[in-house]
Structure 1
């Protein structure tokens, strides 16, 4: 029994030793083979590999994919006119030389040191580029030049780190919160001033239009009244001529007609009352039986 257990234990030990000599390099990784703490080989091709068991040799894996680094929460950068800007950027990078990468950052198991170094380089490059330009340049005309300058410096420094810079982009350029609020208030004030000017101009134009319309109305009413009076005068003249012609043909009828008009004007309402002497000339026509004369047809009635 002890012999069988010894055999099994020996087999397990041999199996463990064999397992420690084999390793697999994934296509997404670099395999760095160490021998007594020194880099012996960098394996770039994926597949099954073998090595000496520890402590003679050991393997460390590095990510060979393109990695993304976002800008941290940092302070504002000053432009040429001493205005503060908050710049958010995005960096795409990957390990190109594992040996140099490990020599630069000491440890191959953590990317924190590399990201911190890259962040520092990007921030310094952005500071130099932004300090020499105005806000207008950064936001419009020279934004590409800013990124080209940052990328050029970053590529040069990254070579010393064993890193390849794939791309770097500015995601957002904005003013700090306090500045943004003041800019918004200033813009609001300017827009309010423009709106007031437009309202004043509109009110002046409205008054001008109303005054012109009133003037035209007065002119039109005056001309219409003039034309009406002219037509009325012509009509009255024609009527007077007709009346004169008619009355000239029969004076008695003319007197009778005028009396009727006088009665009509005097008794316009049923409630009108007039107190006069019956012998008054006003009732001459009634007394004469409508003849309208002094004697005329009334004389035969008295006989």
Structure 2
């Protein structure tokens, strides 16, 4: 190969290398900054095919999608000086690429470390201003909303990132605190149960007393109505008997005497001392005379 041909090959190779170093692509899921000897000259390179001066400009690319940070479980104190073990996570993304690069040198692990420190400080402030019951159940949503707003302001200003969400995965009580808390919760539940039980007994007694009163009233009314019906029946029976016996008084006297004989001589040991001509033996004497 001649010297001219070798020069041409070397020149072509250099052109290819320079061209490859002069072209770069920023994806839609990326954010980038352009540096010139380490100094930022373009703090927000748009997605697409771009050009740069080789060996002069440097391109740093970062993921623009939502990233997650699972912070370490930390011990926080409530306003009651109760210690809690809180495990939280943060969803964040790069918002200002220039500020992000300046604050973190473009290192994601450094950004995560700085952000984790700020999250811990903010949660410590939020938990320290509330009671145990509020942070566990009563105001957890409010705690998170306040933490997101406060962290957003700090993170955008200092780190160039925006906070999408902050969530508490788990809140645990230390062993030395959990037993006393559980005992207090158990005592409160037992007290509520006693109150509900006593109210139930009170209502039951009222219902039982009302039922007894209604029973007494119903029985009294039923007895009154029964006595009225019985009285009317007795009156009607007496009237019927009176009409029947008044039609034949002699027959009525005879049947009454037979009934008296039957009731008087039921026992074998019964003894009666009467005069033979007593009115009691009227029909017996008349029957013997008739024979």
**Number of aligned positions between the proteins:** 274
Deviation at 1:213, TM superposition (A): 3.7
Give unpaired runs (5+ residues) of structure 2: 271-282
Map Cα deviations across residues 260-289 of structure 1 (whole Å, 9 max, x no partner).
54688799xxxx99899xxxxxxxxxxxxx
In the aligned structure 2, how far is the partner of 1:254 from the partner of 1:62?
A: 129
Q: Which runs of 5+ in 1 are unaligned?
A: 277-291
**Alpha-carbon RMSD:** 4.9
Question: Aligned pair in 2 of structure 1 residues 101, 296: CA closer, same or farther (>3 Å)?
Answer: closer
Q: Does 1:121 align with 2:155?
A: no
Deviates more, 1:111-120 or 1:233-242: 233-242
- List aligned pairs for 1:1-303, cutoff 5 A: 10=10, 15-36=16-37, 38-39=38-39, 41-42=41-42, 44-46=45-47, 47-53=49-55, 58-63=58-63, 65-70=64-69, 72-83=71-82, 86=86, 88=88, 90-98=90-98, 100-106=99-105, 108=106, 110-134=107-131, 144=142, 147-148=145-146, 151-152=149-150, 154-156=152-154, 158-161=156-159, 163-165=160-162, 167-169=164-166, 176=173, 178=178, 185-186=186-187, 188-220=189-221, 222-224=223-225, 226-227=227-228, 230-231=231-232, 234-235=235-236, 237-238=238-239, 241-242=242-243, 245-246=246-247, 249-250=249-250, 253-258=251-256, 261=259, 292=283, 294-295=285-286, 299=290
Q: CA deviation at 1:44?
A: 1.1
Residue-by-residue CA offset, 1:210-260 (whole Å, 9 max, x unaligned):
43244225423543454356446535654664466355x43xx23432355
How far apart, CA to CA, are the structure 2 residues paired with 1:41 and 1:198?
A: 77
TM-score, reference length from structure 1: 0.63
Residue 153 to residue 293, structure 1, CA distance change in 2 (3 Å): closer
TM-score of the superposition, structure 2-length normalised? 0.65
Tell me by how many angstroms 1:133 deviates: 3.4
